[in-house]
Structure 1
């Protein structure tokens, strides 16, 4: 849920910059893209800087939890960059949506195993709500990548 709030904050900042006529902010989809990219970059760097926070989420049967956390952090940073490059935007959005589905087991593990994070609420309600927020994050990702819904201008007329 904090990640979703980071996306919203980044989008708000991009909107302010758009009002100030910063040209790269573009339309709403572009501002939302910057918000998601900023949240991903922040989360990716956090994975690299504080890996111990995330290794607790890795199921015990998976080998090399530190390497998994490192790779996921790098994937988040790469996904953020990929969203900002027009040529790679669609691919990045699809791969990030797959990534967000792939990390669902870690979020479920938090709930089942009672894993709690410093600075976040300790109640189960927060972790269930966090799990629910994966759905709008995936939808947001597909939207800013131009995957869903398809823009009218990109549809081919068969008249």
Structure 2
């Protein structure tokens, strides 16, 4: 739920900043870019931070090689994508790339749910709820990619 919170709060604060007179954030499209960037900074950092990193490595489907390398690679892509979302010239391409990345990583969530993993002392998010969240995240990236 933390990624959803980051997306919603980041978007809302950016939109408020736009309404307060920061012209670069004047509108929902720039606010969504900031919200999605905040979300990806949060999730990207988790790919390198202690126990959360170990949990993400555990989520990688067992048939894939080098789960540690895959987690590092996806973490770097998330962080680079977050920065690129904040640059108007690269935001659309970054959003499209991040949407594809989320789709590519979703099988890890399916695998974790099917294997009934416990991460950080709690069961993984149930697959139905995780799928709904994924739809929201991917839809946000698509809106940014094809928006004004």
Match of 2:141 in 1: 141
TM-score (ref. length: structure 2): 0.88
CA RMSD of aligned residues (A): 1.9
Give 3-state SS (helix, strand or coil) of 1:103's partner. Answer: helix
CA distance in 2, matches of 1:80, 1:73: 11
Q: Counterpart in 1 of 2:68? A: 66
CA contact 1:111–1:128 (8 Å) conserved in 2: no
Deviations along 1:115-141, one digit per CA (max 9) or x if unpaired, are: 132265x376x4420122211211110
After superposing on structure 2, the runs of 4+ consecutive aligned residues of structure 1 that deviate more than 3 Å are none
List runs of 5+ in structure 1 lacking aligned partners: 152-159
Q: How many Å separate the matches in 1 of 2:124 and 2:47?
A: 23
The 5 Å alignment of 1:14-53 reads: 14-50=14-50, 51-53=53-55
Secondary structure of 1:94 counterpart: helix
Give the Cα–Cα distance (whole angstroms) in 1 for the partners of residues 90 and 33 of structure 2: 13
- Look up the match of 1:76: 78
Q: Unaligned stretches of 5+ in structure 2? A: none
Question: Which structure has the larger Rg over C-alpha atoms?
Answer: 1
2:108 paired with 1:106: yes
